[in-house]
């Protein structure tokens, strides 16, 4: 009974997404000590999309790397770099223009925008739907080629 690409990828994406989602929702009030300014359900939707996009981004180098030792450092370096450039630590204006132009293709920046808008300003869906849609699009755009490459590898 051969396995498919979906059977390989979903067991990697779903548990990681569930852990990150549970930690984000549990830690929202307990760790930060603040209440959410906007809708908890809207933040939950963003918190559910973020691990999907980030895990898809982390699995993408696996389709290029030839072996596990080659693959191991790639996601760590990639995700660390994205976290540092996500506008959560320093404002976007402090970066070179080339990096400012490239960063909207990363999921982290959209999640930071979403969480700041929902958490601090109480923004609703009418305000945050563009970064929410961008987060879903980035996740899908990274997941589908990775799935296709895994299917090709398994043949």
- The domain limits of the chain are 5-154
pLDDT at 31 over 70: no
For the stretch 79-94, pLDDT in tens is 788 777 777 777 778 8
34 pLDDT tier (thresholds 50, 70, 90)? low
**Burial of residue 27, with CB atoms counted within 10 A of its CB: 0-12 exposed, 13-18 middle, 19 or more buried:** exposed
Structure confidence at residue 43 (pLDDT): 85
Structure confidence at residue 150 (pLDDT): 77
Between CA 39 and CA 47, with CA 41 as vertex, the angle to 5 degrees is 110
Is residue 4 within 8 Å of residue 151, measured between CB atoms? yes
pLDDT at 27 over 80: no
- CA–CA gap between residue 52 and residue 30 (Å, rounded): 24
Q: What Cα–Cα distance (Å) separates residue 100 from each residue in 58, 85, 127?
A: 21, 9, 22
Is residue 135 within 8 Å of residue 115, measured between CB atoms? no
- CA–CA gap between residue 117 and residue 103 (Å, rounded): 18
Structure tokens at 76: 């760590």
- CA–CA gap between residue 140 and residue 122 (Å, rounded): 27
138 pLDDT tier (thresholds 50, 70, 90)? very high
Instruction: Of 147, 113, 149, give the one whose Cα is nearest residue 13.
Output: 147
pLDDT at 1 over 60: no
For the stretch 55-113, pLDDT in tens is 888 778 777 777 777 777 877 787 788 777 777 777 778 888 888 888 888 888 888 88
Average pLDDT over residues 40-59: 85
Structure confidence at residue 11 (pLDDT): 81
Q: Return the C-alpha torsion angle 122, 126, 130, 136, nearest 10.
A: 90
Structure tokens at 135: 């987060």
Predicted model pTM: 0.78
Average pLDDT over residues 117-140: 90
Instruction: Of 128, 146, 120, give the one whose Cα is nearest residue 57.
Output: 146
- 7 or 140: whose pLDDT is higher? 140
């Amino acid at each position: 009974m051969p396995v498919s690409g979906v059977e390989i990828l979903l067991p990697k994406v779903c548990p990681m997404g569930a852990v990150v989602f549970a930690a984000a929702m549990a830690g929202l009030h307990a760790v930060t000590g603040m209440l959410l300014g906007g809708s908890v359900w809207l933040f939950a939707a963003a918190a559910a999309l973020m691990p999907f996009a980030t895990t898809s981004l982390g699995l993408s180098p696996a389709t290029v790397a030839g072996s596990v030792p080659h693959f191991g450092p790639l996601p760590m370096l990639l995700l660390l770099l994205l976290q540092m450039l996500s506008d959560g630590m320093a404002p976007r204006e402090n970066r070179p223009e080339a990096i400012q132009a490239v960063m909207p293709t990363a999921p982290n920046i959209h999640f930071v925008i979403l969480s700041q808008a929902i958490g601090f300003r109480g923004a609703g869906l009418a305000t945050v739907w563009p970064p929410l849609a961008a987060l879903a699009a980035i996740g899908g755009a990274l997941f589908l080629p990775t799935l296709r490459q895994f299917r090709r590898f398994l043949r």
